[in-house]
A and B are shown apart, each in its own frame.
Chain A
C-alpha cells in the first residue's frame, strides 16, 4: 500500500520565504561562531573528584557521573527553535570530553579564541578553570593514559608506539566509541519512565539470582535507571525554564511557544509521545542525553522517516498537523542536530579540520519485510535537507532499485543537484547483502541505517564501533618496498624484515611480502584496539545508550560488554587506490613488461623521481601502468585481491565484545594529511601528493565514468561490510531536468553492478579554485569530503586542493574533464 499522499513530492511550494522561522534559524546557524562549552567537563570532573565511589561497578559509576551532569546541565533556549534542549550551554557549542582528547586543548587555552583557522571561543574564566581545576585531574586518567598504563612493559607497547607515531594507523578508541544508531521506538512508545520500570523489574529479578552474574546484571539495570533518570530531570528543568521564559515574554506568540514547549517537556521523554511534535522533541532530548555520556561523534539518529512516521500519520489524519508545520518541526530538528561541533585543537586541523560531528540520518529504502519504505515523511525530510543545505545532519538516502520508485530516485537526485552535495546514495541490495554476510538476519539487515560517514548498522541492534581502526595502507606498502622500514621513520626496523624486493622473481612473491607487512600491521592495530576496548569497559560503559538498544536490557549487559545483538569493530583504510595502482605499476612494468628492474624503481621512488630519468620513469608509470578505476583486468584483479584479503584477515578476528572486525573504505580527511607526509610511490605519485579519498580512484586515473563506476562496484557487497565512500564530481549542466534523468539512470546502473555507496559534488574545477581564492564569495558552499559534508571555507588547504583536483566528469558524455590549473580550471 502506498504511503505517498503528497500531490507534489518535491514540495516546491514550501520555501524558506514562506517558512520564516526556518529562514531565521538557518541564518543564525551560519552566523554563529563555535564556542567551547566546559559544562560537561566541569561536572563530570567534580563528580569524580568529590562524589565517586570506586567500589561501585563501572556501569553504576558512569551512570551516576552522567546523572550528576544532567541534573546540573543548564536548560537554555537560544532562539525560536520549536524544540527544547541543546547539546551544550552555547548556541553552537564544542563540548569537552576529558575522558578522551580534551587535554589536547591545553596549549591553546589562551589562543584558541583568536587562532587563524577555525577559532573556537573560550572565555578567560573558563580557560582558567580548565587549566587549574579540570585538566590537572585528568593528567593520568584519560583512555589513552589508562591504556598506556595497562600495556607499558608488555609486548603490546609497540602497538601504542605505532599509533602515537600517527603514520601507521589511528586507534580511534582513544577518542571515542560513539558511532551508533540508537533505536528510539521503545522510548517513544513507553517513555523513559517505562524503560526505567522495565529495568527496575529486571534488576530485582537479577538480584534474586544470588550469583556474581546476577549481581553484575542487577548493577547494569540499576545504572540504566540512574542514567535515564538524568534525562528526565533535564527535561523537567527545560519545562521549568520554558514556563519562566513564558512568564517574562512580552509577545503573546512567543509566550505561547514557551508554554507549548513546557507542555511537551512535561510529557516527554518521561512519558510516551502522543503527538508528532512530542515524538520529535523526545528524540532530540534523548540525543542530548546520549551526548552527556558519549562524545558527539557520529551519534546517528537513524531512520527518522520510519520512526516518526506513525506519529506524523496519526496527527495528519486527526487534522492536528499540516505539511508546513511538519516541515517546520523537521527543520527545527535538523538545526538542533547541528547545534554542536567537535573541539578540534590546532594541531589536528590538518587531519580533521572542517569536519562536523556527522550525525547521520537515513531515509527511504525498504522495510523489514523488504517492501518500499518511502513515505510522505521521507519527502518532507528531503525537502528540509534541500532548503536548509547545512553540513549536519549527514543525510543519506537508501535506494532499492526494485522496490523504491523511480520518482523517489529522481527526487533524491534532484536534491543532490540542487544542494550540490547531499544526500549520499546507498544501495539497499549491496548493503543488505553485506550485513546478512555478517550473520545479521534479513529483517535486521533490511532495517540498516548509516552511521557517521558511511558505516552500516542494523538500527539499534548493532554496536559496530565502526571507526575503531583507521589504517594507512601506504605504510605496509612502503614497508614491503623497504624491508620493513619506512622512509619517514628512517632506519628503525618497524615491521618484519622481509626480503629486498629487488631479489624477488615474481609479482606473486612481492604480493606475499606486501601481505606479510600488511598482516603484521593489522595485528598490531587490532591488539591495541582490544586493549582500549578493555579500558572502555572499565572507564566508559554506556548504560544510557544501552537503554536505546535491543539486547542490553535482555542480556543485562552494557553495550561495551557485548550487550548488543551484533557487536563488530570497524577498520577503515586510507590510500586504497594509491596502493592498488602501485601494485599495478610493479606487476606490469617490473614483472610483465620488464620495462624497469625493481632495483631501478626503488631507487627512483627513494629519490622522489628526481632528475630527468626519474621524471621520465614517473611519467611512464603514471600514464602507462594500469589504473584502478578502469577496466584493465590487472587493475581489477589487484583491487579485488586487496579487498578480499582484508576481508578474510579482519573476519578471522573476534573482538572483546564477541563480534567480528569489519573492513571499510572511507577516509574523512586523513588521505590529505597522510598523503602529505608519505614519500613517492611506484605508481608515479610524488612525495607529498595527496592520496585518493575513500575507495575513489586516484584523481585523473579513471577517464571513463562508466568504467570507473563498474570498477568500484564490482568490489561491493559481502567483502565490504563497513561500506565505503566513493566521491564523484560532476560539472553542473544548464538543462537540470535532463541532468537529473541521466543522474538517476547512472545511479541505478552503478547499483545494479553492486556499488554500495556514492556521494557527489556538483561543481567545477573553476568554481572550487575561485572558492579557495575568494572564500568570502562562498560562505555557505557545502562539499562532500569522504563520507561527510563540510563547508569548503572551513577545510584546510590540503583538503581544498584535494577537492579541487578530484576528477570531474561530464555526465552528458561520461568522460572526465581535464584539470588545467594554469587556466584557472577553465577548459
Chain B
C-alpha cells in the first residue's frame, strides 16, 4: 500500500517535470526526467512494458560540454539507467543541450532533420535504436495524464 502511494507520488512528480520540459523553454533536466519516467512506466504499465520484451539495447547519451553522461540499458525486459559511459552502446547520441535533445526526440515542434543538419545532435551507431527510443518517448508524451494547472 505504502509502496503504491510512493510510486504514484513519484509518477505524479515525474509527469509534472516531464510536462514542464515539454512546455517551458527550460529543458536541461529533460533527459533524466524522460529516463526516470520511462523506468517507472515500464514497471506500472503492461502495454508499455511490451516495448522492451526481448529487447536488448544500449544507449549512450552525452552532452557536448561533457556535463551529462548517461547510459540507458535495456536487458531481459528491464531498463537500467547508468550515470556514466557504458560499454558497447548500440548508439551514442551527443547533444548540444537538453533543449536540442528534446527538440530532436519529442518536441511538438520536433525538428529531427534540422537538429542533425545543424549538428545540434550528432549520432554514432545504429539509428534504428534511436527510432525505437523515439517511439517509446512519444508514447509517454501521448500517455501524459491531464495535470492540474
Contacts and interface: CB of A to CB of B under 8 A. Distances in A.
Contacts of B123: 164
Interface stretch (B9-17, B26-34, B124-132): B124-132
A821 B9 CA distance: 56
A247 interface: no
Nearest to A104: B131
Contacts of A350: 113-114
Interface stretch (B36-44, B65-73, B78-86, B134-142): B134-142
A346 B128 CA distance: 16
Contacts of B137: 107
A103 B119 contact: no
Given A111-B138, A167-B117, A106 B112 contact: no
Interface string A662-684: 00000000000110110000000
A110 B142 contact: yes
Most buried by B among A131, A142, A348: A131
A104 B110 CA distance: 14
Contacts of A488: 117-119
A422 B128 CA distance: 39
Interface in B90-122: 105, 110, 112-114, 116-119, 122
Interface stretch (A42-50, A132-140, A200-208, A396-404): A132-140
B113 A166 contact: yes
Most buried by A among B51, B55, B135: B135
Nearest to B124: A161
A793 to B, nearest CB: 21
B54 to A, nearest CB: 8
A346 B132 contact: no
Contacts of B131: 103-107, 135
Contacts, number: 83
Interface in A341-377: 346-351
B75 interface: no
Given A107-B138, A131-B135, A139 B129 contact: yes
A142 B110 CA distance: 25
- Prevailing SS type, chain A contact patch: helix
A651 to B, nearest CB: 31
A148 B126 CA distance: 8
A145 interface: yes
Given A109-B135, A142-B128, A145-B126, A346 B110 contact: yes
Interface string A79-112: 0000000000000000000000001111111110
Most buried by A among B51, B105, B117, B138: B117
A488 B115 CA distance: 12
Interface residues of B, number: 29
B55 A136 contact: yes
Contacts of A674: 117
A139 B135 CA distance: 14
- Prevailing SS type, chain B contact patch: helix
A348 B113 contact: yes
Contacts of A224: none
Contacts of B112: 107, 346-347
Given A107-B134, A110-B142, A145 B128 contact: yes
A139 B118 contact: no
Contacts of B110: 346-347
B128 A673 contact: no
A823 interface: no
A795 B118 CA distance: 21
A135 B132 contact: yes
Interface in A146-191: 148, 161, 164-167
Contact of B126 (A140, A167, A351): A140
Contacts of B119: 165, 167, 488-490
Contacts of A37: none
A677 B142 contact: no
A8 to B, nearest CB: 49
Contact of A166 (B54, B116, B138): B116
A110 B127 contact: no
Given A106-B131, A140-B126, A131 B117 contact: no
A144 interface: yes
A58 to B, nearest CB: 22
Contacts of B118: 488, 677
B115 to A, nearest CB: 9
A687 B129 CA distance: 33
A139 B113 contact: no
Contacts of A140: 126, 128
Contacts of A109: 135
Interface of B: 50-51, 54-55, 105, 110, 112-114, 116-119, 122-129, 131-132, 134-135, 137-139, 142
14 contacts: A104-B131, A106-B132, A109-B135, A131-B51, A140-B128, A144-B127, A145-B128, A165-B116, A166-B113, A167-B119, A347-B112, A349-B113, A350-B114, A676-B117
Interface of A: 103-111, 131-132, 135-136, 138-140, 142, 144-145, 148, 161, 164-167, 346-351, 488-490, 673-674, 676-677
